[in-house]
């Protein structure tokens, strides 16, 4: 692969999550479930969370789609377990900032494996893929009664019907 942006897009870590996703399983004792689809490409994610009090105990997902959408949700669920809802919200905000070109987010350890997705920000038409799982997360938090923190201006929320 000679093409530099392409190399930064398809990091080994992303391909590993795509081939062997983490937390791709059913969660029978979930407290919330959200289905998100991208009607343009047909990518689909069903996010299941078990939330107790203000903490995410377990995160699982089902879905099909491109390497970016599936790796992103796999990485996201790996980060969510044991997190406070506010922290989960913070991760979503930080990740969205990274997608919109905030390079400092790429060095933010709170994003864990998700940092490998920084290269997606150079591919505007693929940002939606990376955010699909987070769209599901934010909707799940909302349905669980969590009030999101105020976001920076310029963070456009991608909503899918």
Partner 1 sequence: MNLGATAPSRATLATPVFDPAVLRRDFPILDQEVNSRALVYLDNAATTQKPASVLTALESYYRRDNANVHRGIHELSRRATVAYEDARARVGRFVGAADPAEVIFTRGTTESINLMAWSWGLDVLHEGDEILLTEMEHHSNVVPWQLVAQRTGATLRWLEIDDQGLLELDALPKLLGQRTRLVSLTHVSNVLGTVNPVADIVRTVREHSDALVLIDGAQAVPHLPVDVRSLGCDAYAFSGHKMCGPTGIGVLWARRALLDSMPPFQGGGEMIRVVEREGSTWADLPHKFEAGTPNIAGAIGLSAAVDYLERVGMAAIARHEHELLTYALDHLAEVPGFRGLGPDQVELRSGVISFALGDAHPHDISTILDSEGIAVRAGHHCAQLVMRHLGLPATTRASFYFYNTTDDVDRMVTALHVVKGIFG
Question: Footprint of partner 1 on this chain (CB under 8 A)?
Answer: 1, 3, 5-6, 9-10, 15, 19, 40-44, 64-68, 123, 125-126, 129
In the complex, the smallest distance separating the C-beta of residue 136 from partner 1, rounded to whole angstroms, is: 17
Residue 44 DSSP SS3: strand
In the complex, the smallest distance separating the C-beta of residue 119 from partner 1, rounded to whole angstroms, is: 11
127 vs 141, which CB is nearer to partner 1? 127
Helix axes 127-143, 67-80, angle to 10 degrees: 40
Q: Residue 90 class from Cβ within 10 Å (0-12 exposed, 13-18 middle, 19+ buried)?
A: middle
In the complex, the smallest distance separating the C-beta of residue 59 from partner 1, rounded to whole angstroms, is: 23
CA 134 to chain centre: 4
49 vs 132, which CB is nearer to partner 1? 132
């Amino acid at each position: 692969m000679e093409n530099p942006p392409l190399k930064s897009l398809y990091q080994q870590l992303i391909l590993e999550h795509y081939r062997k996703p983490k937390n791709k399983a059913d969660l029978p004792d979930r407290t919330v479930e959200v289905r998100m689809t991208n009607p343009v490409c047909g990518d689909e994610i069903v996010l299941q969370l078990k939330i107790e009090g203000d903490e995410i105990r377990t995160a699982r997902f089902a879905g099909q789609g491109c390497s970016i959408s599936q790796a992103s949700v796999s990485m996201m669920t790996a980060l969510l377990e044991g997190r406070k809802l506010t922290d989960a919200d913070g991760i979503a905000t930080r990740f969205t900032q990274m997608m919109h070109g905030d390079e400092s987010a790429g060095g933010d350890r709170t994003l864990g494996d998700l940092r490998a997705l920084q290269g997606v920000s150079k591919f505007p038409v693929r940002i939606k893929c990376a955010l699909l799982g987070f769209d599901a997360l934010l909707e799940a938090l909302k349905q669980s009664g969590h009030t999101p923190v105020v976001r920076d201006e310029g963070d456009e929320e991608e909503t899918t019907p």
